[in-house]
Chains A and B, each alone.
Chain A
Amino acid sequence: MAEARSGVQTLEPWNDPDAKPYIRIQNVSKKFGDFVAVNNVSLDIYQNELFCLLGGSGCGKSTLLRMLAGFENLTNGNIFIDGVDMVGIPPYDRPANMMFQSYALFPHMTVEGNIAFGLKQDRVPKTEINKRVKEMLDLVQLGPFAKRRPHQLSGGQRQRVALARALVKQPKVLLLDEPLGALDKKLREETQFELVNIQEGSGVTFIVVTHDQEEAMTLSTRIGVMDKGEIVQVGTPTEIYEYPDSRFVADFIGSVNMFEGRIIEDEADHVRIASDEAGCNLFIDHGLSTTPGAKVWVAVRPEKISLSREKPNGEENCTTGRVDEIAYLGNLSVYRVELESGKQMRVTMPNLVRDAAERITWDERVYATWQPSSGVVLTR
């Protein structure tokens, strides 16, 4: 994950109190009748960011994007783009272009015509239009299909036309609704790369909607996780993965083992939690400020747990169970371990040895351990 971003952006405007957000979403709500599709969302997005909105189906991602593009009126709140209040500004006057989830290609125009449409509205000279359309066609590898109509294209090709059509105008803000959903794995990775390249080179601010968490991790500078119309957490991919602040986020991003427990000791430098579910006391190497006895959950990622046949030293962060299921994925194996409490635990371990006989197998009794820094304590 996060390979595409390995260039490491050191710029983090969201940590800079003086930075001015480029897109400011303030307390925005949207109701359809009585149904609240977007509930009091506030977000600051900075120039040159590639911000991912991530969330399950029906959580209001598209609705939020449509409000930014100007297709839905806000029930409440304000949206500013580049300091300008967007209320009352129609879609055709907004400095944003959108790529629709349903592609929304013009069925009576060729691929070329579709891509050129936006430029024609701006009265760009014809030679310039031709040049930019050709560049776009090359970028999305659709050169040979320039003269075709949308219904003569496959789903993935249509998606690329939609992408090209939104990109070609080089707007200040690009809103992409599930831009890569219909592409196969290889093309998807290439296009993800391309998106990041375009975004880094152009100074355009991207907001990308996806429900594919891996895609969000790969693409984004920051991720906003949505649930039932609300933003539940905003952070860099690493923050979201390593420091989720709710059970929903921990569960939604990657897989996780969640142990319910009660705080028995809360000091400045450590916390101790009793958990029947885990079958051991859980030790975390930093303090919280909760009341002892409070109910909490501890989330431990599968790859941070190691299994062994011999009982390790120490009683804490160490539990035991029986191997129930193994999935061999080549580079690593996924184990499902049934703990004594009956809880299923998921563990991924790299396949360091080649010899199958040495690896842990079904029905073996194993010990599972993890570091005091591995668990994340969640209070909600």
Chain B
Amino acid sequence: MTQRRSMFLLSSVVFGFAFLYVPILSLIIFSFNESKLVTVWAGFSTKWYGELIRNEQILEAAWISIRIAFVNACFAVALGTLAGFSLARFGRFRGRTLFTGMVTAPLVMPEVITGLSLLLLFVAMQDLIGWPEGRGVTTITIAHITFSMAYVAVIVQSRLTSVDESVEEAALDLGAPPAKVFFVITLPIIAPALISGWLLSFTMSLDDLVIASFVSGPGSSTLPMVVFSKVRLGVSPEINALATIIVLVVATGVIAAGIVMRNQELRRARDEHMAAAENL
């Protein structure tokens, strides 16, 4: 009985993981394919990686994407933290539910709509005040900030609700004015949430295709846009190589973050255990 059950569990796990990772695995394998035909194996080669490095268009797009992602992440963390802080700490002000809903709306809004509305806004603004001049890196960055900051706000808010508010009150009580309390007490305590918010914003910006397509202009194609336009002309092993590199970078980041967090968790648990054992 139990054996049958464990067989069932095992096969579910295998099937689930296969479903998730076989496509990625096949992509990685075929990136080392000698042949130009993606589906026919013709021996091992790293030549597509060489091609990739020589491809100006892809490199330029990657550089644009990274710049956008970086600026976006910084702004999103700054704005999202302020929004999350006011959601968590201003108590029950008038229209709080509305505000919460509005901050989190971009999370569920279809990207097409977000993209389209931003495009319309940018066009209208250009007509009215002459800024932003045309569409390009600036407009993509602004568009990304609008949805990234919603994620940061939610992360910061949920982190703050688990921080005892009396810690901030204690700092006030000891003579620190509110702004100082925010920078000296609140921010350091929620720093891990800010870091994960930053990383999330960064990756989401790197990933985004739909919104960027709406608000980009000539000479500002991001990496996903270039990849997508190339794939429409047929999948080349070059793209496989690019995808493999991206998977590698992302996996390294995720695993590194995981290890750091786990170590912190372990050390904390050990410290608490020791303190309790001393029981002085």
Contacts and interface: CB of A to CB of B under 8 A. Distances in A.
A292 interface: no
23 contacts: A69-B169, A91-B169, A91-B172, A92-B176, A96-B173, A97-B174, A98-B173, A100-B169, A102-B164, A102-B166, A104-B166, A104-B167, A105-B170, A106-B167, A108-B188, A117-B171, A118-B175, A121-B175, A122-B175, A149-B271, A151-B268, A154-B275, A154-B276
B280 interface: yes
Contacts of A373: none
Contacts of B175: 92, 118, 121-122, 169
B177 interface: yes
A19 interface: no
Contacts of A105: 167, 170
Contact-residue size bin, chain B (C-beta under 8 Å from the other chain): 20 to 34
Contacts of B229: none
Given A91-B169, A121-B175, A165-B174, A152 B164 contact: no
Interface of A: 69-71, 90-92, 96-98, 100, 102, 104-108, 117-118, 121-122, 149, 151-154, 156-157, 165, 169
Nearest to B185: A106
**Chain B interface, DSSP helix/strand/loop, else mixed:** helix
Given A91-B172, A92-B172, A156 B280 contact: yes
Contacts, number: 77
A240 to B, nearest CB: 30
A106 B176 CA distance: 13
A153 B274 CA distance: 8
Contacts of B2: none
Given A100-B166, A149-B271, 16 more contacts: A90-B172, A96-B173, A98-B173, A102-B164, A104-B170, A106-B167, A107-B189, A118-B175, A121-B174, A151-B271, A153-B275, A154-B280, A156-B280, A157-B275, A165-B170, A165-B174
Given A106-B185, A107-B189, A69 B275 contact: no
Nearest to B187: A108
Contacts of A92: 172-177
Contacts of A156: 279-280
